Structure 1
Amino acid sequence: MNNEFNSKDAGLFTHAFNQNPYPAFQSLRQHDPVHQALMPDGHYAWIITRYEDAVAVLKDTRFIKDFTVFLNEAERAEAQKNIFSQNMLFADPPDHKRLRGLVQQAFTPKMIEELRGRITEIANELIDDMQGRSQIDIIDDFAFPLPIIVICEMLGVPSEDRDKFRTWSNTLVEASNDPGKAEKIQQHTEEFTSYLREWIATRREHPEDDMVSKLIQAEEAGDRLSEQELYGVVSLLIIAGHETTVNLISNGLFALMTHPEQMRTLRQQPGLIRPAIEEMLRFEGPVEFSTDRWAAETVEIQGKTIQKGDHVLVALDAANRDPEAFEDPDVFDITRGQSKHLAFGKGMHFCLGAPLARVETEVAVNTLLERFPELQLDTSSAELEWRPGILMRGLTELPVRLA
């Protein structure tokens, strides 16, 4: 344990931190960039906050994703019953390559670009529904439904079930910061598992032209997808396939509305949309901390000894504000140009859905600003609440005036 700079000193995992983590991240980068912190669930984890260290950890194969290697046989069998446990996000080579390879053909830039027309249709349909209203919640009315419709159409989820996925997804993502919701988490996990089981069984009997049917067919053709892995891959695509993009769209629009000069620049120069999105990702990234890693052997970083089996988290949003990597990192500047931000991670676990998230956000922001040129925040930024949890960073609501 590091006694010289504890989590309380750093101000981690408080309500104030949830609202604005950047002062705490700055303090850690300056005083204790490889910091062992007490997590909300009572265990300790190493927090990595400097950009250079973050890149090193994300690319270092000594930091593994499958924690079950540290368990005994009975514990491992129990852990692997979890439907989220067997997917590419929590796998190491060679399983990682196998699982990722089964889905990455649907997420190539070419395939995603072919979805642009449909994404634009969805965005315009959602905006058509806003006509006649002066105020909306950009998350409920736009940032959430757009990516959930897209991923559900790709996977073959019935449109009437989309709201169920939002409820389940929110519970499971926020679980990391609230152990007190164990009963609710258990209930929603069971509901989600039951739904997947029935849905996959239906698709086995009646395959359609969707990704789930193709994954099932690949498994049945002997392409190495077990039933549990199928649950894991599908649940990851449903949750990760929309959660990050909801936050990227809403965080990005929030950044624009609270920096009106940048909003004006983008309206005057719509060709800046792509660098603008990269700056949104860097400045207020939708994923605050990387997903879990564990040290497969004892590793030393910045003079700190990380023991085999220790839990390690990379603070992506901290690394993306590191002044050693970015000039004036606390300034939101859509003309910043090429960005080496870590919002989608780095190395073999780089986000598979990054091309989709970028296209959805590009279409969403462009269409919204074109249709509502007077778009502006309808409350003070201090009144807004950020969602609890240490994985995702996103607002609970974002009220805006349309005209």
Structure 2
Amino acid sequence: MTQAFASEESEELSSEEAAAAASSCSREFRANPHPVYAALRETAPVCPLSPPHGVQTYLITRYDDARAALADPRLSKDMYGAIDAYHRIFGDSSIALDDNMLFSDPPKHTRLRRIVGNTFTPKRVESLRTRVQKITDDLLDQCPKSEPVNLLPEFCFPLPLHVICELLGVPENEREQAQKWSATVAQTGFGPEARKALETAEGNLRDYLVDLIARKHQEPDDGLLSALVAARDEEGALTDHELVSTAWVLLFAGHKSTAYQIGNGVYHLLAQPEQKRLAFKDASATAAAVEEIFRFETSVENSTFRYAKEDLVIRDTLIPKGALVQISITGAHRDPEAFADPDRLDVTRPNVQATHIAFGVGPHYCIGAALARLEMQTALTTLFGRFPDMALAVAPQEARWLTVPFPAFRGLAELPVVLEPS
């Protein structure tokens, strides 16, 4: 039994119930959002929400609308343009880390992405292949084999964290602390204590990155951060502020989503042995399986915020100027108008790489997509190749999913497995 079956067994929700569930971000909704998104696709595909942060928000759940909205220039990523909303959600302390290509529009976005893209090249990613394999093997060597092990902290998180840190040039003895600060930023809620924790973690990260960049100025290495320090285009180099924010977004985006995605893939393949068998017939089958896992249970549940630069209508719903918009990648990926039998994991599903939107669409397409694919394919191939009899240490229906109040990521809270069952 898998998470997909849970949605099939759930009672049908009214549009009001679904909207209330999505607005509340309740533990029940976070544990299994699929029935809510299914109801919204049918009855309120562009749904006004009343989320905990208190800013008027519209949620898009159908695939065609989601794909169009991700590339719609009327929906701005520049949260400075929606500064009041930004402050209400994130507070003033976040601004120092958010002056990057993720939260900007052209022409600024074009300039930042061009500079980063000129250094974060396919050749640089491919050069990491041997290191990704070595890190994968070393982590698995250290895991207990015949007793339950939680793969999230022992494997799924350390792998992409070490890879992105090596790519950037973060010293090994500084990585754990950077990850802890990043985790606080990712999982903070909206109460006073959460705000304080968020501000402290963001301040620590900012100070750390300022210091790290200063060290790269003094002693450059062959890492991506040193390359960014030296990079410039016809408009000049990145400012120190832009360097700090760019380093932050690469560090954060470069490990969190991939870690949860690896966990989602391991879980679903263990829960469905026939799909596991099909996924590892050969290298091309594994590559296709990875793309289906990105579709079936993407770790990026919702897009980052956009806001309407003008009044606009999407599927007969007026989104007023200034309102926030989120695109449900998870909801869009289960749309039956886009994918046949979408609640079924099918690792042989044709053409899924060209149709899923796990990495976005348009100008903001994920610059790290090639690295995420490399890490996913290496992690799953090595894990299941070394431990073909690996099994979940709990019944599939007892798996615990993240229930943090802010639905940025879709992933497991823990992944207990036995690598070599007796």
User: What range describes the TM-score normalised by the shorter chain of this pair?
Assistant: over 0.9
Alignment partner, residue 409 of structure 2: 392
2:154 is matched with which residue: 131, 135, 141?
A: 141
Matched, 1:376 2:387: no
2:26 is matched with which residue: 14, 35, 57?
A: 14
Alignment partner, residue 224 of structure 1: 237
1:5 is matched with which residue: 13, 16, 31?
A: 16
Alignment partner, residue 370 of structure 2: 355
Report the secondary structure of 1:248's partner residue.
Answer: helix
What is the aligned-residue RMSD (CA, Å)? 2.3
1:41 is matched with which residue: 43, 53, 56?
A: 53
Unmatched 5+ stretches in structure 2: 1-13
Once the 2 structures are TM-superposed, how far is the Cα of residue 179 of structure 1 from its aligned partner?
6.6
* CA deviations over 1:254-301 (Å, ceiling 9, x no partner): 111111111122244453111100111000001000001001111011
Matched, 1:108 2:121: yes
* CA deviations over 1:30-83 (Å, ceiling 9, x no partner): 0100000111222221000000100111111000011222448xx8xx959722
* CA deviations over 1:202-253 (Å, ceiling 9, x no partner): 2222222211112112269972311111111000000001111101111111
- Trace 1:272-287 onto structure 2 (pairs within 5 A): 272-287=285-300
Query: For residue 419 of structure 2, what is the amino acid of its counterpart?
Result: L
Report the secondary structure of 1:40's partner residue.
Answer: coil
- The farther-off stretch of 172-181 and 161-170 is 172-181
Label 1:244 to 1:9 Cα distance change in 2 as closer, same or farther (>3 A): closer
4+ residue runs over 4 A deviation: 9-12, 78-81, 176-180, 219-222
Label 1:326 to 1:119 Cα distance change in 2 as closer, same or farther (>3 A): same
- The farther-off stretch of 48-57 and 209-218 is 209-218
Number of residue pairs matched by the alignment = 398
TM-score (norm 1): 0.93
* CA deviations over 1:7-44 (Å, ceiling 9, x no partner): 32667511111111000000000010000011122222
* Cα distance between partner residues in 1 of 2:376 and 2:349: 18
* Cα distance between partner residues in 2 of 1:180 and 1:270: 48
Unmatched 5+ stretches in structure 1: none
* Cα distance between partner residues in 1 of 2:265 and 2:190: 24
Once the 2 structures are TM-superposed, how far is the Cα of residue 349 of structure 1 from its aligned partner?
0.4
Identity %: 38
Matched, 1:330 2:335: no
Report the secondary structure of 1:313's partner residue.
Answer: strand
Matched, 1:53 2:65: yes
Alignment partner, residue 265 of structure 1: 278
Matched, 1:156 2:173: no
Report the secondary structure of 1:67's partner residue.
Answer: coil
- The farther-off stretch of 154-163 and 8-17 is 8-17
Query: For residue 261 of structure 2, what is the amino acid of its counterpart?
Result: L
Label 1:323 to 1:199 Cα distance change in 2 as closer, same or farther (>3 A): same
* Cα distance between partner residues in 2 of 1:69 and 1:268: 50
* CA deviations over 1:142-201 (Å, ceiling 9, x no partner): 111111111101111011111112211111112367675111111111111111121112
Label 1:147 to 1:70 Cα distance change in 2 as closer, same or farther (>3 A): closer
Alignment partner, residue 361 of structure 2: 346
